Amino acid sequence: MPQSPLLLRRLLRAKDRMDGAPHEEWPIARLAEVSVVSEAYFAREFKKAFGLPPHRYLLTRRIERATALLRDTDLPIIDIALQTGWTSVGTFGRIFRDITGASPGELRTHERSLPQTQAHIPECVTRSAQRPDLNTAVLEKRRNKAAGKL
């Protein structure tokens, strides 16, 4: 059954809040409150509407923002981790590597070694093309890699 326009607007309100402040904590209870629905209903309907559970969606946004900061600024990696919502640099580095395949430092070095031909491409297009694939959970990706399935 398709989702009602009212429900989609409510879910989009929560998604917009995450997009606007991905560095903040966004537990399901807070997101459900923003959407004015129950927690279980929110989690189920968010995934149905946007294709990812709320936590993975937020991880995608945080990694996108961290990648942009690594590419476009000289901020220390610890500052980038804190600005993008991580409380532990170790966790940030581990999950960043799991998702992108490179450590934050390696990605910065690689991005800066590329010719700067992307200056005329809008940032929204670049982000969309470089969006991390989180259709598989990070822990599942890690298990598959350890088992040699990747």
Residue with tokens 């929110």: 42
Tell me: do 36 and 65 sit in the same domain.
no
Residue 52 makes CB contacts below 8 A (sequence gap 6+) with: 60, 134, 135
Boundaries of domain holding 85: 59-146
Tell me: do 47 and 71 sit in the same domain.
no
Tell me: do 92 and 46 sit in the same domain.
no
Alpha-carbon gap, residue 10 to 38, rounded angstroms: 12
Look at residue 123 in the predicted model and tell me its pLDDT.
Answer: 64
Show pLDDT as tens, one digit a residue, over the chain (150 residues): 788 999 999 999 999 999 999 999 999 999 999 999 999 999 999 999 999 999 999 999 999 999 999 999 999 999 999 999 999 999 999 999 998 999 999 999 998 887 765 556 676 666 666 666 666 666 676 677 777 765
Look at residue 112 in the predicted model and tell me its pLDDT.
Answer: 82
Residue 140 makes CB contacts below 8 A (sequence gap 6+) with: none
Tell me: do 122 and 79 sit in the same domain.
yes
Alpha-carbon gap, residue 143 to 150, rounded angstroms: 10
Tell me: do 141 and 84 sit in the same domain.
yes
The domain tally of the chain equals 2
Helices 39-50, 5-20: crossing angle, 10 deg rounding: 90
Look at residue 16 in the predicted model and tell me its pLDDT.
Answer: 96
| Contact present, 80 and 104 (Cβ < 8 Å) | yes
